[in-house]
Structure 1
Amino acid sequence: MKALVLAGGTGTRLRPITHSSAKQLVPIANRPVLFHVLQDVADADIKEVGVVVGGTADQIRAAVEDDDSVNLDITYIPQEEPLGLAHAVLLARDFLGDDDFVMYLGDNYLRGGITDLVAEFRRDRPTAQLLLARADDPGDFGVAELDASGRVVGLEEKPAAPKGDHVVVGVYLFTPAVHEAVRAISPSWRGELEITHAVQWLIDRGADVRSTTHSGYWKDTGNVAALLDANRVALESVEPLVAGDVDPATELVGRVRIAEGAVVRGSRIVGPVAVGAGTVITGCRVGPYTAIAERCHIEDSTIEFSIVLPGSSITGVSRIEASLIGRHVEVTPADPAQAPAPAAHRLVLGDHCKVQISS
C-alpha cells in the first residue's frame, strides 16, 4: 500500500505567512503540519509516499530532506496548478500503479493518526473508504449521506442544504478502481476535478464505498484560527523536557519542553509550551499554548496562545496573544508618547516584518 500526500495548495487563507513559505510547513508544536502527516503515514506502516507539490516544491523538498525524523521513500509529483484532488490522483497514476493507497491532505492535523483506519481498510478492502467527522457547519465541507449500515450513498461538495452532519475529513483510502473514476468525471463549477465527484461516480456504479467516523480531534489548518487551535491540541501531547539552560530564577509550570541549546533566564513559562533550539528567553511570561521555534529572541515580553516561527525577535512588548508571527520578524515597542497600549496585541505577521507597537 502507498500514500499520496497533497502539498501543492497555495494557502491564500494564511497570508501573509504564505506569501513567502508553504502553508504545509507552518509548524504546530514546533513541527511543520506536513511532518505530522508524514509521521501518521509512517506509523501506519506505509513506506512509499508520493508528495504532490506546486509552486513551493523547492521549499517542501528542502524541508523534508533536511529532516531525518521520518524514514520514508518519497517521490515528488509536480502539479503546476491546484486543479482539484482528483486531478492530483490523475497526475500520480504512474507512481500509484495498481496499488491501494491512502490520500492525505498535507495541511490537516488528525489527533490519533491513521493506523487503525489503514488496518481496517487492509482487512476489509472496500473499493473506497472515507474518514468522516461530525461538524456543526457541514455546508463548509464535502458532506456524506450514509445508509443505516454506515455505507456512503451520496456525496455533495459544500451543499447549501446539507443532508447530514457527517463531513469528509482530508483522508481517503482507495483501491485502483478510483483511477477509472477520476478519468470519467468533468471539472466542477470551480474548474477543479473534485474527488467527491469521483467517489460519487463509484457509488452510482454500485461500488462498495464505506466510511469511518473519527470521534477525536481533526482540523484543516488552512486559516490562522484553525492553525492556532491545532497548535493548542498538539502541545497537549508534547512530552515535558528540559534539555536547555534554565536558570534558578525561572519558574516552569506544567507541560514545558525546552530544547537543547535554548536559554531561559528570569522567566515564567506556563505549559503547554515548546521552545526550540537556540532560542533565548529573558524576563518573560510565556504560555500557555505557545510554541516558539528555534533561534528566536524573546525579552521583557508576555506571549500566550501563539506561534512564533524561527529567527524572530520580540522585545519589550507587554502582551501578545492568539498571534502567528513569521520567520525573522522583529517586534519592538513604539514611542511611549503615542496612544496607550491595548490590553493585548493580536498579530499575524509575514516573514521578515519589522513592527513597532504600543506597549
Structure 2
Amino acid sequence: MHDVEAVVLVGGKGTRLRPLTLSAPKPMLPTAGVPFLAHLLSRIREAGVRRAVLGTSYLAETFSDHFGDGTALGLEIEYVVEDQPLGTGGGIRNVAKYLSTDHVLVFNGDVLCGTDLNAVVDTHRSTDADVTLHLVRVQDPRAYGCVPTDADGQVLEFLEKTEDPPTDQINAGCYVFRRSVIESIPDGRPVSVERETFPGLLAAGARVSGHVDNAYWRDMGTPADLIHGSADLVRGVAPSAALPGPTGEALQLDGAQVADGALVFGGTTVGRGVTIGEGARVEGSMLFDGAVVGAGAVVEHAVIGAGARVDEGALVTDTVVGDRAVVGAHCELRGGLRIWPDVVLPPHGVRFSPDV
C-alpha cells in the first residue's frame, strides 16, 4: 500500500484514564511493554504503509521525543500539532496539507484492533467509495452508536445509542478517505466526523461504504479496557508486531526480579526493574517500570504505576495505583479505585469507595 498514507489522531487528553494520563498522553501509556501507539504503528507498517501523519495536541512533544522520524519502525512520521481542540473531523482536516496520496487510512489513536487493513482498503477501492468505515460486530451494541448497511455494503445511516439497536455493527474508528473528502471538511473549527461529516456525505449522495468483520476490537478509553487490552496483547489474543518479547501468561522486561514463589499470569506485564516478592500473586495486571509488589501481596486486574509500591499482604484489585504511590501492608483496595501519584496509604487501611 505504498499509494496509501495513514493519519492517526492522538490529540485527546485521556481524562477517563487519569491519573495515568497526568504525565503522558493516552496513546503513549506503556501497554504490553511499549507505548500503546507503537502497536498501531506496527500494524500500519505491516500493511505496507510507509508514511504516517500524527495529529497531536496534549503533551505533543512526547510523541516526537519517542518515535522521532519513524525510521526505527520503518515509517516516515510527520507530526502536526493542533493549537485548539478540533474534534475528529477537524483533526483530520488539520493535516490535509501534509498528505500526498489520493486515499488515506485514518485511525483513532486509542483503539486496539485486529482487522486486516489491506482488506479495508480493498473494500474502499472495489466499491469506489468516497469514505469507507471499518465496522465491527459486537455482542451488545446498545453501548454504541450503530451503523447499518445495505446488501451492497453501503452505509444507510448513523444512529445514536439505543436500547433496541437495529444492527450489531458499530464504528470501529478506522476509515479510508478520499483526500478530496478530507479537503472538503471545514477548516479551522471543531468538526465531528460521526455527527457532521459522515451524515453530510450521505445527505449529499456520496458513496459511504462499510467494511464489516468480527475482528478483535477494544476501545482503550478506560482503565479496565487498558488493562484488558494489554493482557490480550501479552497473551497473543490481540495482534501486534511491536511486542518486546514472546506472548504468553506474562511479559517480563529487562531488570525485573520475580521471586521463585511468586505467581504471575493472565497476561501481566512486568516492567523494567520491577520487583515481585515471595508468595505474591499478580494476575492480568500492568506493573510499570520500578514498581514493587511485596511478599504475599495480591494484585488483580490493576495498574501499578512507575515506582509505586504495594507492600506485603496487601490486596489491590480493579484499581489504578498512581506513580510512586504506596499501598501499605495488608491494605485492601478494590472496585475501580484510583490512587493518585505520591499518595501513601497506611498499613491495614481498607478502602472501598472510588473517591480516594
Question: Could you say which TM-score interval applies, normalised by the shorter chain?
Answer: 0.7 to 0.9
The worse-fitting range, judged by mean Cα deviation, of 79-88 and 121-130 is: 121-130
Q: What is the one-letter code of the residue matched to 2:218?
A: K
Change (3 A) 1:63 1:240: closer
Question: Which letter maps to 2:298?
Answer: T
**TM-score under structure 1 length normalisation:** 0.82
Deviations, residues 121-145 of structure 1 (Å, cap 9, x unaligned)? 4565522110112345546544313
Q: Equivalent residue for 1:352? A: 342
Distance 2:63 2:86 in 1: 19
Whole-Å separation in 2 of the counterparts to 1:343 and 1:142: 34
1: CA distance between counterparts of 2:271 and 2:95? Answer: 36
Alignment-derived partner of residue 316 in structure 2: 320
- State the AA in 2 paired with 1:307: V
Evaluate the alpha carbon distance shift between residue 277 and residue 123 of structure 1 in structure 2; reply closer, same or farther with a 3 A threshold: farther
- Residues 1:147 and 1:276: Cα distance change in structure 2 (over 3 Å): same
Equivalence map 1:1-359=2 (5 Å): 1-65=4-68, 70-112=73-115, 114-121=117-124, 125-135=128-138, 138=141, 140-158=143-161, 162-183=165-186, 192-196=190-194, 197-237=196-236, 255-271=249-265, 272-300=267-295, 301-333=297-329, 342=332, 347-356=337-346, 358=348
Which amino acid in the other structure matches residue 331 of structure 1? Answer: V
CA distance in 1, matches of 2:335, 2:28: 25
Task: Write the distance in 2 (CA, Å) between the matches of 1:68 and 1:298.
Answer: 37
For 1:272-314, what per-residue CA distance to the aligned partner results, in whole angstroms no more than 9, with x for missing partners? 3222222222214233212323222222122122233333222
Task: Determine helix, strand or coil for the equivalent of 1:13.
Answer: helix
Aligned residue for 2:328, secondary structure, equals strand
Change (3 A) 1:273 1:36: same
Q: Give the conservation status (yes or no) of the 8 Å contact 1:319–1:345.
A: no
Aligned mates of 2:284, 2:206 — CA distance in 1: 45
Higher strand share: 1
1:174 alignment partner, SS class: strand
Contact 1:228-1:305 at 8 Å conserved across structures: yes
Identity across matched positions, percent? 24
Using the TM superposition, give the Cα deviation of residue 211 of structure 1 relative to its aligned residue in structure 2, in angstroms. Answer: 0.9
- State whether residues 284 and 298 of structure 1, in contact with CA within 8 Å, keep that contact through their aligned partners in structure 2: no
Match of 1:247 in 2: none
Q: Name whichever of 120-129 and 275-284 sits farther off.
A: 120-129
The aligned amino acid for 2:340 is G
* C-alpha distance in structure 1 between counterparts of 2:100 and 2:245, whole Å: 44
| Contact 1:3/1:101 (8 A) holds in 2 | yes
CA contact (8 A) 2:274 2:288 kept: yes
CA contact (8 A) 1:143 1:157 kept: yes
Distance 1:165 1:178, change over 3 A: same
**Distance in 1 (alpha carbons) for counterparts of 2:229 and 2:114:** 9
Letter in 2 for 1:45: G
The answer on whether the counterparts of 2:280 and 2:294 sit within 8 Å (CA) in structure 1 is no
Deviates more, 1:79-88 or 1:322-331: 322-331
Q: CA RMSD in A?
A: 3.1
- Structure 1 residues 39 and 354 mapped into 2: Cα distance closer, same or farther (>3 Å)? farther
1:166-195: CA deviations, max 9, x gaps?
2111111111231254139x98xxxx4111
Note the C-alpha offset of 1:48. 1.1
Does structure 1 conserve the Cα–Cα contact (< 8 Å) formed by 2:316 and 2:333?
no
Summarize the Cα distance change of 1:211–1:97 in structure 2 as closer, same or farther, 3 Å threshold: same
* In 2: Cα distance, 1:343 partner to 1:57 partner: 33
Contact kept? 2:227, 2:286, Cα under 8 Å: no
Q: CA deviation at 1:57?
A: 0.6
**Can you give the 5+ residue segments of structure 1 that lack an aligned partner in the other structure?**
243-253, 335-340
SS of match in other structure, 1:61: helix
Query: 1:100 Cα shift?
Result: 1.2
**Stretch of structure 1 that moved more, 169-178 or 137-146:** 137-146
Letter in 2 for 1:355: L
Distance 1:79 1:159 in 2: 33
Q: How many correspondences in the alignment?
A: 337
- 1:2-46 deviations in Å (ceiling 9; x for gaps): 111111111121223223321222233233222222122111111
Greater shift in the superposed pair: 49-58 or 105-114: 105-114
Q: What runs of 5+ residues in structure 2 fail to find an aligned partner? A: 238-242, 350-356
